[in-house]
Amino acid sequence: MSGPTYSPDGKHMWTGSEWIPAPPTSEPEPSVPSEQALNMQDSVIGGDVVHSTVINNDPAAVTTAVIAALQQLGMVGAEPAAPQAPPILEVELPPSFSVGDHVEYHSPTNERWLNRCTVIGVNDDGTYRIEVPKSSGIETKHAVVIGSSLGTIRPAAPPYQVGNRVLVNWKNYGNYYPGTIASENDNHTFMIHFDDGDVEDNVEWSRIEPLQENSAEVQDYMESVLEAEQELIEAFQVFDENGTGTIPARKYFEILTEIGDDPISVDDVLEEFASLGIGLDSEIDYRELAKYMASSDDVEPVHYKPEVVIRDAEIKDGDLHGYAYAHPKLGEGPVRTSQIMGVQYDERATARVETRNTMYVVGPTGWKVKPAEHPFNDPFSVGEEIKVDWKGSWWDAIIREKTGGQYLIHYVGFDTSWDEWVDTNRMQKME
């Protein structure tokens, strides 16, 4: 029968389920032989069950286990960090979509654009029904509008091809890293060769963004994420005397328990290492560990109000009345909201009406009675030819700008010194 397993300092003993103080003995405290590894229990690591075997000879598996240990120890978030998305590129919005068009949906939950969505219907108020592919199946959004904010749709980016330069949310941990598409799989996922030498296969379309290398903003972004990764790699390289790209788990154990302002207790680290099958003489791929740590900075959780699209909308006594397409609690049908907290219009006159618990979306033509401040209530637009009253006579003019209730007009046939700001009392439509 094999003897008990002791901690590296000989002060703790593994019972098979927990670490306890080692019993006093007159003999010298046992040391851990170089080939001795910690016992462990069955554990789930990234979906794979490890059966009482030490993963000494596989740095990638060891690194995955170390990441799981860091999550359990509370050093990094147990959930992937909110994606730190690269700069959003401008996309020209069309006036409308047709059934069958391929679109992107700006998911309020994920706070990013989801691709491979399809328009399956057009509602009477000009909103759209779309299908959004998800890992659990196809989800239908019953009423969305065209736009650039959360909950809207826009034209889909062109399909990616082998050789395209891209930014990829590496392992869905949160940070986007630059790389190149090496191949496309039959299930429309991709193999990515990252600029730092890393390789990831089966990357979903939703984790990829096009890389515009001529954009100064994108270049600044890439430099910042790669610099954060490189700083951690250089810190780990101090312990990689042979340049193997790995460091012993024993050395990382020392880093966790002895270095820094807030080291972790030996007992806690030993327990996590043992339960996850991390032998102290196994090797850790510190480049992958650094990449994960660079993308796992604490991010404050963001709570989004559910978005509900309604039609036949009308504001009465500070409440919004209308017909909801898919209210998360009330389903489809008439609704009367709580007190309105604010109303905002986007560039397409789509309204977002915020209440205490919900964000209601009203399309440009989704109103039964348009509010006074609705953009479509303005009878005049920039560039329009009109008549302007000047000292009792009506003169031809063109609207150059507008702000609030004022319009900058240019008199036709006169130089710009005659331009002036006027209100609607001095304006009328051309006959």
**pLDDT tens track for 253-262:** 887 887 655 6
* Residue 27 maps to a domain: no
The three-state secondary structure class of 221 is helix
**Cβ burial, residue 116 (10 Å; 0-12/13-18/19+):** middle
Averaged pLDDT for residues 2-7: 60
Least confident of 51-65, 79-93, 169-183: 79-93
Are residues 372 and 311 located together in one domain of the fold?
yes
Are residues 75 and 56 located together in one domain of the fold?
yes
Query: Which one is predicted more confidently, 147 or 187?
Result: 147
Are residues 369 and 351 located together in one domain of the fold?
yes
Torsion from C-alpha of 320, 325, 329, 331, nearest 10 degrees:
130
How sure is the predictor about 90, in pLDDT bands with cuts at 50, 70 and 90? Answer: low
Are residues 231 and 282 located together in one domain of the fold?
yes
CA gap 254, 263 in Å, rounded: 9
* Residue 323 maps to a domain: yes
Torsion from C-alpha of 48, 52, 53, 54, nearest 10 degrees:
90
Q: Specify the CATH number for the domain of residue 59.
A: 1.10.238.10
* Residue 125 maps to a domain: no
* Residue 32 maps to a domain: no
pLDDT tops 50 at residue 44: no
How sure is the predictor about 116, in pLDDT bands with cuts at 50, 70 and 90? Answer: confident
* Residue 207 maps to a domain: yes
Number of domains making up the chain: 4
- pLDDT at residue number 80: 46
Are residues 281 and 324 located together in one domain of the fold?
no
**pTM of the full predicted structure?**
0.47
* Residue 401 maps to a domain: yes
Q: Specify the CATH number for the domain of residue 391.
A: 2.30.30.140
Query: Domain range spanning residue 188?
Result: 165-214
- Are 303 and 356 a contacting pair, CB within 8 Å? no
The three-state secondary structure class of 72 is helix
Could you identify the residue written with the tokens 């030819």?
385
- pLDDT at residue number 93: 86
Are residues 290 and 313 located together in one domain of the fold?
no
* Residue 95 maps to a domain: no
What digits encode the pLDDT tens for the residues 138-180? 899 989 999 888 889 999 876 788 999 998 888 887 778 899 9
**What does the buried/exposed string (b/e) look like for 83-96 if buried means 16 or more CB atoms within 10 Å of the residue's CB?**
bebbeeeeeeeeee
Tokens describing residue 205: 């379309």
CA gap 348, 339 in Å, rounded: 25
Are residues 336 and 319 located together in one domain of the fold?
yes
Are residues 318 and 346 located together in one domain of the fold?
yes
CA gap 399, 415 in Å, rounded: 14
- Are 150 and 179 a contacting pair, CB within 8 Å? no
